[in-house]
């Protein structure tokens, strides 16, 4: 089968992955599932993996097939699998968990002590077939297209996971700021709109992104290249600030807004990454606000998100590409030229 594989880390996205002919994965365990991939979302994390940014956080043996936002049709199942059968359309949680370690017993999938992460620590879905396990697959309802929903396997549940944490702290009439209306941010706005009665302020540096945010339920939009976000939030909240900020960018510049934007006792959720936090400890003490990280989401949260998709509460803005165009996709995302999410379709 064909697979897009990373052979060495590089900052040059134009030739980052090679299309190799490799063996189709074979079932190695009785709870294994082989998926015929129909769609695999391209994520900014894929760019970071290519750059070698994850080498200090996750074990990686190159060459490796990337792709952690995967959906398709069940091609083969192990003897003990009962949840799905051959021919079923599914979306795949990116993490294959063991189910028996303490984090798994607590339902904390992303902390599994024995995890395999497709496209990060083991071969992923930029290929014709993907090997995963029963604990990672979620059957799709009738009428849900695997190609369209594939990016929800990471982008969707990451945005949903962050929005759900923010919603827990939001009362009707409170303010939530969403920074970055890109591939994750446009999902996060919809989740916040579906799950809370808070006023959402969307901030971005592109007018077309802000127009999308307005269409998706944001009450106010701010072009932060032209206006000072802190001043706008101050005006709109009568000086109270935003109870929650969901930062889908995660640069030095966006995290630096926290002391001036977050209301006392509020949270600045960091979803996008690549930057740093450089705030004096006194700023956190004085404002009693918190920086909170977001790492993908739980299996159960992907189930919940699929339910929102089926109800029509959350829609993805996607563009489709053949596997051969994968480096073009990587390069375009690196330059901020993709609105919404790109989905790669194997042959």
Mean predicted confidence (pLDDT) in 220-237: 96
- Count the neighbouring beta carbons within 10 Å of the beta carbon of residue 102: 10
Q: Where are the beta strands (DSSP E) in the chain?
A: 2-6, 17-21, 32-42, 64-65, 69-77, 89-92, 95-96, 116-117, 129-133, 137-139, 175-179, 199-204, 220-223, 242-247, 262-270, 290-293, 318-322, 341-345
Mean predicted confidence (pLDDT) in 331-340: 88
Indicate whether this model's pTM tops 0.85: yes
The predicted structure's pLDDT at residue 338 = 86
The predicted structure's pLDDT at residue 183 = 87
The predicted structure's pLDDT at residue 336 = 85
- pLDDT digit string (tens) for 140-171? 999 899 999 999 999 999 999 999 999 999 99
On the question of pLDDT at 321 being above 90, the answer is: yes
On the question of pLDDT at 340 being above 90, the answer is: no
On the question of pLDDT at 317 being above 90, the answer is: no
- Residue the block writes with tokens 């396990």: 133
- pLDDT digit string (tens) for 66-92? 999 999 999 999 999 999 999 999 999
Mean predicted confidence (pLDDT) in 88-109: 96
Mean predicted confidence (pLDDT) in 168-183: 95
Coil, helix or strand at residue 84:
coil
| CATH code for the part of the protein at 158-293 | 3.40.50.720
- pLDDT digit string (tens) for 1-53? 999 999 999 999 999 999 999 999 999 899 999 999 999 999 989 999 999 99
Domain borders along the chain are 2-154+297-345, 158-293
Q: What pLDDT band is residue 222 in, cutting at 50, 70 and 90?
A: very high
On the question of pLDDT at 320 being above 90, the answer is: yes
Percent of the chain with pLDDT over 70: 100
**What would the two tokens of residue 258 be?**
């926290």
284 close to 290: Cβ distance less than 8 angstroms: yes
The predicted structure's pLDDT at residue 339 = 78
Kind and range of the H or E run holding 306: helix 299-311
- Residue the block writes with tokens 């599994």: 112
On the question of pLDDT at 263 being above 90, the answer is: yes
The predicted structure's pLDDT at residue 186 = 94
| CATH code for the part of the protein at 2-154+297-345 | 3.90.180.10
Residues 239 and 245: their CA atoms lie apart, in Å, by: 15
The predicted structure's pLDDT at residue 65 = 98
- pLDDT digit string (tens) for 282-296? 998 999 999 999 999
């Amino acid at each position: 089968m064909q697979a897009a594989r990373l052979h060495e880390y590089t900052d040059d996205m134009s030739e980052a992955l090679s299309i190799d002919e490799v063996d189709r994965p074979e079932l190695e365990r009785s709870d294994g599932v082989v998926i015929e991939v129909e769609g695999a979302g391209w994520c900014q994390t894929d760019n970071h993996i290519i750059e070698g940014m994850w080498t200090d956080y996750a074990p990686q043996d190159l060459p490796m097939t990337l792709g952690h936002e995967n959906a398709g049709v069940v091609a083969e199942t192990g003897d003990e699998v009962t949840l799905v059968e051959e021919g079923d359309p599914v979306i795949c949680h990116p993490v294959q968990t063991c189910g028996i370690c303490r984090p798994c017993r607590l339902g904390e999938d992303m902390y599994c002590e024995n995890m395999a992460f497709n496209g990060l620590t083991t071969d992923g879905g930029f290929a014709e077939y993907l090997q995963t396990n029963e604990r990672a697959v979620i059957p799709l309802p009738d009428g849900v297209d695997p190609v369209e929903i594939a990016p929800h396997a990471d982008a969707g549940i990451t945005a949903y996971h962050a929005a759900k944490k923010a919603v827990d702290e939001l009362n009707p009439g409170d303010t939530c700021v969403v920074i970055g209306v890109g591939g994750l941010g446009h999902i996060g706005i919809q989740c916040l709109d579906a799950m809370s009665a808070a006023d959402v302020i969307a901030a971005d540096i592109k007018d077309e992104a802000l127009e999308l945010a307005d269409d998706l339920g944001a009450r106010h939009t701010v072009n932060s290249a032209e206006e000072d976000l802190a001043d706008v939030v101050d005006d709109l909240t009568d000086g109270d600030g935003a109870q929650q900020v969901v930062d889908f960018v995660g640069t030095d510049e966006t995290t630096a807004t926290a002391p001036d934007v977050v209301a006392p006792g509020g949270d600045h959720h960091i979803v996008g990454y690549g930057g740093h936090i450089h705030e004096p400890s006194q700023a956190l003490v004085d404002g009693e606000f918190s920086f909170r990280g977001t790492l993908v989401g739980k299996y159960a949260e992907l189930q919940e998100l699929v339910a929102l998709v089926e109800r029509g509460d959350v829609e993805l803005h996607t563009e489709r590409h053949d596997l051969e165009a994968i480096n073009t996709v990587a390069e375009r995302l690196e330059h901020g030229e993709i609105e919404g999410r790109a989905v790669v379709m194997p042959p």
